[in-house]
Amino acid sequence: MLRAASRVPDHGKRTPFRFLRIEGDARLSLGERIAARSRARDPDASDSVIEKDRLRFMFAPTIVTVIARLGPDEKIPEQERLLTTGCVCFALLQAAQALGFGAQWLTGWVAYDPQIRTLLGIGDDEVVAGFIHIGTAQCEAPERERPDPVALLTDWTPE
């Protein structure tokens, strides 16, 4: 799956991404720390909110954090390196699903909170592009309304 996820368009061959696996007991240990942080962020948060945060990483046995590495680069714009990392997330989703797993791309406040970032070892020039939760699907994913691609298409015409 990681091999498939790493075969993405990558301007300048920068490999502007890395993977951080959260698995097994580490999931709940992280959840306990997230719950504590959640309480500190909002002392008035309800118990159900705190519990939801505690169990954030318990939906699936494996979570692959896809991290964009966005240090200074004289040639390749940051946007392009972030796009590459987005492709990694999607390719990982598709690889997992192609192998018969359920997989979902989630972020939430934990992806952006400075203290959780530090806890995960995310560097100053890095961002969490997504947590890809991978496991055995418990049910069929509900379908949702999809955009009409034709409505999104215009033609450029010279004036």
Ligand X SMILES: Cc1cc2nc3c(=O)[nH]c(=O)nc-3n(C[C@H](O)[C@H](O)[C@H](O)COP(=O)(O)O)c2cc1C
The CB-of-107 to ligand X minimum distance in angstroms stands at 4
Nearest to 69 by CA among 16, 117, 13, 119: 16
Q: How far apart are CA 103 and CA 159, in angstroms?
A: 46
Give the binding-site size for ligand X (rule: CB under 6 A): 8
The CB-of-158 to ligand X minimum distance in angstroms stands at 35
Q: How far apart are CA 20 and CA 132, in angstroms?
A: 10
- Using CB under 6 A, which of the segments 14-22, 24-32, 37-45, 99-107 binds ligand X? 99-107
Query: Per CB under 6 A, does 106 bind ligand X?
Result: yes
Query: Per CB under 6 A, does 135 bind ligand X?
Result: no
Residue nearest to ligand X (CB): 105
Under 8 Å CB-to-CB from 73, ≥6 apart: which residues? 12, 14, 81
List contacts with ligand X (CB under 6 A): 104-108, 130, 141, 144
